[in-house]
Structure 1
Amino acid sequence: MTKVVGRDKVNWGIMGTGWIASQFARDLEHAGNAVKAAVGSRTAESAEKFAAEYGFARAYGSYDEMLQDPEVDIIYVATPHPLHKENVLACLEAGKAVLCEKPFTMNARQLEQLVEKARERKLFLMEGMWTRFLPPITQARAWIAEGRIGEVRLVKADFGFRVGWEPEGRLLNPDLGGGALLDAGVYPISFASMIFGEQPQHVWSTANIGQTGVDEQFSVLLSYSEGRSASLNGAIRLNLSNEAVIYGTEGYIRLPLFLAGKEAYLHVNGQDEPEKFTDDRTCIGYAFEAEEAGRCILEGRTESRTIQLDESLEIMKLMDTIRGQWGLRYKSEINR
């Protein structure tokens, strides 16, 4: 267990210096319980540049050096998908708490090993599903809990964008875990899991496998108990509406740009105008998951109640099932 007794802040380390690492580092300014302690990269030059730009106290030219820093409490793993398992495992073996960028791992088998290790070592571990903590989504969950839209029957959620044609780039390269499902589709799939609070009974899906061998777009239909369902879409070569709608027997909730939007609309049957929620945050939104991870550690908890490890594992199993329907496997996950 990471020792933070008597403290009100946690010391963060970041593993990796790419785009997502920079987004998270920038947002740590807005996390009230976070201290920018260290950054680790594969080269000293990259780490030093990152630390200077984002205000981290120490820079390390290797991940192992950062893991040996006794002042680092928790590490945000921001490396490419295929490296998540070995990187998170190294952090846990070094006694560090971990927030891992999505997707947690390449498959459920890998994640099972990480969950087992975290529980064995009594260390905090959480999937970096930052959307769970955004104020509009938190508000939507509150409206549902209050019964404002009655019984939820249907969820529709899309996330897709058109990336440029770069076959060797991360999104289109199978060796880097590219494809729409792992990169974009995990968001609507996790969203449906959050809303229904259970995993589907039946799964139907289709995908367009592109020239490089990764899924460029997909559609999934999920059926749950009592006739409830979810219709989900993802893409990396197609711009989608990127909207989520939750339909209930007494109304519906609409989340424009649900990944990063600042608004939520409650439409109640019989009311002419929707109730609008507006989030006035100045951060991107990663600060909220960082604060949650910090709270858990400061309170001595090893999991977040908002996204527990068992749920993350079920979501990964579902994505394994979906990819299995397409016959899509990655070299990096074979025998791992």
Structure 2
Amino acid sequence: MEKKVIKWGIIGLGNIAQKFATDLATVENAELVAVASRSQENADKFAIKHNSKKAYNSYLDLANDAEVDAVYIATPHSFHKEHAILCLQHKKAVLCEKPFAMNLQEVEEMITVAKENNVLLMEALWTYFLPHYTYVLECLKNEKFGKLLKLEADFGFSRAFNNDSRLFKKEVGGGSLLDIGIYPIFAALSTLGTPSSIEADATFFDNGADSACNMIFDYTDTKAVLKSTLLENAATVAIFTCETGIIKINTMFHMPTTVTITENGKDEIIDFKTKTIGYNFETEHFNNLLRANKKESDIMTFDFSKNLIKTLDKVRGIIGLEY
């Protein structure tokens, strides 16, 4: 039976939206039909580049477009709740870029509106759906190398401070924690679950946004040592030390990459040969949920998203970071 073609709209047309649209073109039975920016010129340019037949300078106009089945939201973090709710109230399925919103209260509001309108909503944490990451999850779940004893994960790069850049703007959720610290935290929660206690310390830019954050998640018989930084180029790897072997997700662990298995003193590198940027995997999952009339992902569940933002809130509380 022919699969229903899912017709997509995109709100917020920055770098991540460019990558999403590029990969959307590789997904079967999916089509980009509308894009929206605050600037008509930006919307037109994006539409031409990615073959969208409609370009709006109003998010409301896109939400009102009867042809659109699903909307990918890629605006700055502080607008996620507002734009997700706008689309949900117009009965559009929503795939919202991570972090889902600024805090637990906002995430709960979004989920409530999705349920009230009986519409699919999912946080777009693409790493969960990448082949290399699902492989690692399977190894850990099956205890292929025994029990997990320790996780070390970091994410960092050096960028000159620019208060006009979204990355550094505190009021839109800029800083290391929400933007990139979410990935090491995701690695811990998706493999070890909720920690029994958290230690954290941070450094800050002059505008109050966090420049780096070090975290230790304590579990009963293991720990996760996590780091995010905008001050230096970190290895950006995730290392899972198990009883009989080490699983290392190599550099840029959050995106398509290789995995090194070390066992009995020997290294084996596994290459998953992903040919796309990697956004197609979450998109295909979301499209299948929509076709099956599901309202929540069985992988990126509401409970997981709530736990993720709750953990980010907790770390922010420890380091004294308020938005």
Instruction: State the match for 2:309 in structure 1.
Output: 316
Per the TM alignment, residue 44 of structure 1 is displaced from its structure 2 partner at its CA by 2.2
Deviation per CA, 1:313-334: give whole Å up to 9, x if none: 111011111111122111xxxx
2:290 equivalent in structure 1: 297
Which residue identity lines up with residue 262 of structure 2 in the other structure? Answer: H
Instruction: Report what 1:72 is aligned to.
Output: 68
**Partner Cα separation in structure 1 for residue 316 and residue 293 of structure 2:** 37
> Structure 1: which 5+ runs fail to align?
331-336
Which of 136, 143, 159 is the aligned partner of 1:147? 143
Q: What code does the residue aligned with 1:234 have?
A: S
Q: 3, 10, 25: which is aligned to 2:6?
A: 10
After TM superposition, give the deviation of residue 32 of structure 1 in Å.
2.2
**Do residues 250 (structure 1) and 238 (structure 2) align?**
no
Aligned length: 322
Give the Cα–Cα distance (whole angstroms) in 2 for the partners of residues 47 and 169 of structure 1. Answer: 20
Alignment partners' CA distance in 1, 2:115 and 2:36: 25
Query: Is the CA contact (8 Å cut-off) linking 1:157 and 1:232 kept in structure 2?
Result: yes
Match of 2:111 among 115, 131, 142: 115
The answer to whether 1:221 aligns with 2:216 is yes
Whether contact under 8 Å (2:256, 2:274) holds in the other structure is no
Tell me how far 1:104 sits from its aligned partner: 0.7
Q: Which SS does the other structure have where 2:266 is aligned?
A: coil
SS in 2 for 1:117: helix
Superposed CA offset, 1:245-299 (max 9, x none) = 111112120001202242112223x3x4233321212211111111111111111
Q: CA deviation at 1:8?
A: 2.8
Greater RCO, 1 or 2 (C-alpha within 8 Å, sep 6+) = 1
Which has the larger displacement, 107-116 or 167-176? 167-176
Aligned to 2:100: 104
**Secondary structure at 1:75 match in 2:** strand
Which residue number corresponds to residue 152 of structure 2?
156
CA contact (8 A) 2:3 2:29 kept: no
Q: Is this contact kept in 2: 1:217–1:238, CA < 8 A?
A: no
Instruction: State yes or no: 1:203 paired with 2:198.
Output: yes
**Match for 2:91: what amino acid?**
G
CA contact (8 A) 1:33 1:291 kept: no
**Residue 134 (structure 1) aligned to one of 130, 137, 147:** 130
Secondary structure at the aligned position of 1:30 is classed as coil
2:225 aligned residue (206, 222, 231): 231
Contact (CA 8 Å) 1:84, 1:100: kept in 2 or not?
Answer: yes
- Tell me how far 1:86 sits from its aligned partner: 0.4
Do the aligned residues in 1 keep the contact of 2:188 with 2:224 (CA within 8 Å)?
Answer: yes
Q: CA RMSD in A?
A: 1.5
- What residue number does 2:77 align with? 81
Instruction: Render the CA deviation track for 1:176-210: whole Å, top value 9, x for unaligned.
Output: 221100001001101111112x2111010000012
Cα distance, 1:150 vs structure 2: 1.0
Which runs of 5 or more structure 2 residues have no equivalent in the other structure? Answer: none
After TM superposition, what 4+ stretches of structure 1 lie above 6 angstroms from structure 2?
none
Percent of aligned positions that are identical: 35
Q: Which residue of 2 aligns with 1:333?
A: none
C-alpha separation between the residues in 2 aligned to 1:149 and 1:37?
46
Normalised TM-score (structure 1): 0.92
Deviations 1:7-36 (A, max 9, x none): 432111000111111111111122224211
Q: Report what 1:334 is aligned to.
A: none
Instruction: Give the TM-score normalised by structure 2.
Output: 0.96
1:274 aligns with 2:279: no
